[in-house]
Amino acid sequence: MMPKVAFTRGLSPSINHCELVFAQRRPIDVNRAREQHRAYEALLAEQGWEVRQLPGSADFPDCVFIEDTAVVLDELAVLTRPGAESRRGELPPVAEALGPLRRIARIEPPATLDGGDVLRMDKYLYVGLSPRTNPQGVEQLRRLVEPLGYEVVAVPVHGSLHLKSAVTAIGPKELLMNVAPIGSLVAFADFTVIPVHPGEPHAANALLLDDVVLFSASAPRTCERLSRAGIRTIPIDLSELAKAEGGLTCCSLLLR
């Protein structure tokens, strides 16, 4: 059987030049960020994932956020066209790594799409219309995946970098959400939604592994809500990467 593979990408020594949309620029301690990233990889490995790290690059400050470069499904990997121009050169090593494992398709100009905007719930792909993903990006993705039986649902996102900054899966039918950037819950009517604690608006980005959720150690009150709902969590500190507006999902591409 194919092992569960998690691709990660090494931290760029130039991460302090990362893109920022909503956060104020604060110095990132590169060594500390690297340690936190290693701890993240170690947790994935402990949970049974074969972690394959692609080398980081000084030319691409945001390359550690590998999630944005591809949408990986069982049948297909879609290489994105990141909304931030400075990130488009991150793709070639990812394409090379995924090539032997999946059929490859690409998002073409003028479309833009970041993987952080694509939330997969079984055969539904919820795609954020965000600062990074435009309507053409949603349409191109739809054309690629509909023949494979997926339904694409566009979700406008306001005041949040990506859809998954505001909502992530914490179970097959359960979502963790910061409701404000999404506004209407209509698209998610079939799911049980656990709202983040109002004092922790950035806590919605959690990473669901088989039966456990990796969760930000800086959001204990939301974590309590998850525990009360019977969800097993493992806390992780990615505070240095959070200064680059990165979360937990964005540091890996999981081939489930």
Of the residues 63, 162, 202, 251, only one is catalytic, namely 162
Active site residue 162: yes
Q: How far is the CB of 114 from ligand CIR (least distance, A)?
A: 6
Cβ proximity to ligand CIR: between 94 and 250 the closer is 250
Cβ proximity to ligand CIR: between 84 and 121 the closer is 84
Cβ proximity to ligand CIR: between 68 and 174 the closer is 68
Q: Which residues bind ligand CIR (CB under 6 A)?
A: 18-19, 21, 62, 65, 67-68, 84, 87, 116, 162, 165, 244-247, 250
Pairing of strands 118-121, 104-106: unpaired
Q: How far is the CB of 162 from ligand CIR (least distance, A)?
A: 5
Between the alpha carbon of residue 128 and those of residues 1, 95, 110, 166, 247, the distances in Å are 33, 23, 17, 10, 16
Of the residues 18, 223, 250, 251, only one is catalytic, namely 250
Instruction: Report d(CA 30, CA 11) in Å as an integer.
Output: 8
Active site residue 202: no
147: burial class by Cβ within 10 Å (0-12, 13-18, 19+)? Answer: exposed
Asked if omega into 82 is within 30° of 0 (cis), the reply is no
Q: How far is the CB of 82 from ligand CIR (least distance, A)?
A: 7
For 33-173, strand residue ranges (E) read: 50-54, 70-72, 77-79, 104-106, 118-121, 124-129, 151-156, 167-171
Q: How far is the CB of 248 from ligand CIR (least distance, A)?
A: 9
Cβ proximity to ligand CIR: between 93 and 247 the closer is 247
Which residues are known to be catalytic? 162, 250
